[in-house]
Amino acid sequence: METKEMPEVQWYQRRSVRILTHVGVWIIALALPYLLRDHHGEHHFPGAGTYDLAFFYLNLATNFLWVGPFYLNAYVLVPRLLYGRQYLLYIASALLMFGAVLGLHAFLFIVVFEIPFFHMSATCEFLIPTFLLTIAISTTYRMIRDKMEADRLVQLTQEEHLKTELSFLRSQINPHFIFNILNNLVALERLKSDELGPTILKLSALMQYMLYDTDEDKVGLSKEVEYLQSYIDLQRQRFGGKVNIFASLEAPEGFYEIEPMLLIPFVENAFKHGVGIIEKPTIEISLHVQDKVLYFTVGNKFNDLYPEAKDKTSGIGLTNVKRRLNLLYGDQHSLRIKKHQDWFTVSLTLNLH
């Protein structure tokens, strides 16, 4: 039974790394006030100096209290209340959290460290700025985290759509083309033609590339060119002298990569619409690389008076190819589609990765 391979998790997305990152940030945040601490004029009431050590531990313990509101706000209140637009309930919950922190601080102040200078108004004035800062940072953290996760899911969805389209494209090369080639092979065998062997090799190479070599995210451009050449040669043999086919595919110097089967829909579209009831049907295809830029042009004559019925099993369509190019290359490509008189022309320029 085939098992579905899970997407690889980046090191920074691992749970242990995230936990260690949070711990490190909290250590720095809690230690920073003491590293920058001014020891002069710290307490402004008589007798407070005798409780310096108690105040030190009180402040340290109180700082640890902010961890709770931070994560409670980030993982409970924001996603459940703030995102749900339950603003009054969110504010009430935040006030309840502040009351809990205030109560714990008072307990530490009076009971644990036995400091006799507790004043409710002064304590509130001392805690409110830190509480508001904690809630603001916590909310910002949650929103940024959710935005990054949403962007990641969009990217994964787009990649999955591209893989699905590629799989569909590989499985939907026009079956009429395959059937005609097989019929040609039968005819060549009966005629004992010397072209039988090379034709079988071309068809074998075409099927191997289409079914196996395109499993990778990218392939060598030279392989894509070989695939196009095999496809064109088989089509030329299929139509014989009925269609004028002019193809100039220059193998690039050096190694370049391209997404697999990115160019074949344009060629397949030309053979789909460039034959039939057309005066002197002609198909022209050119490809070359210059200064790391791919120049690819496909043109075919067509007849508007006899539009060919759309074949739902033929390729993924130019519309989806445009979307695929936009997702993969963005502004690193230019695609021009033009109809002029009885010619349909597609011109693609692509900055190679």
- Domain boundary assignment for the chain: 38-160, 172-351
Q: By three-state DSSP, how is residue 221 classified?
A: helix
Which of 300, 275, 297, 280 is closest to 288 using CA atoms?
Answer: 297
Distance CA 299, CA 84 (A): 54
Q: What digits encode the pLDDT tens for the residues 38-53?
A: 544 444 444 445 566 7
Edge-to-edge order in the sheet of strand 333-340: 244-249, 282-290, 293-301, 343-351, 333-340
Closest by Cα among 187, 184, 275 to 233: 184
Average pLDDT, integer, range 127-151: 89
State the pLDDT at residue 309.
Answer: 45
**Number of neighbouring beta carbons within 10 Å of residue 173:** 20
127 by Cβ neighbours in 10 Å (0-12 / 13-18 / 19+) ranks as middle
E strand or H helix at 296: strand 293-301
C-beta of residue 203 within 8 angstroms of C-beta of residue 234: yes
Write down the mean pLDDT value for the chain.
79
- Percent with pLDDT over 90 in the chain: 21
In this prediction, residues 231-235 reach a mean pLDDT of 86
Length, in residues, of the chain: 353
Helix (H, G, I), strand (E, B) or coil at 7: coil
**Least confident span in 6-10, 23-27, 236-240, 245-249:** 6-10
Q: Round to whole Å and give the CA distance between 297 and 331.
A: 19
CA distance 284 to 301: 9
**Cα–Cα distance, 267 to 108 (Å, whole number):** 78
Strands 244-249 and 282-290: parallel
**Domain 172-351 grouped into CATH 3.30.565.10:** yes
**pLDDT reading at 277 higher than 90:** no
With a cut of 90, say whether residue 202 has pLDDT above it: no
pLDDT band, residue 349 (cuts 50/70/90): very high
For residue 71, count CB atoms less than 10 angstroms from its CB and return exposed for 0-12, middle for 13-18, buried for 19 or more. middle
- pLDDT-derived band of residue 315, with 50, 70 and 90 as boundaries? very low
Q: Which of 70-74, 81-85, 177-181, 338-342 has the lowest mean pLDDT?
A: 177-181
**E strand map for 136-202:** none
pLDDT band at 172 (very low <50, low <70, confident <90, very high): low
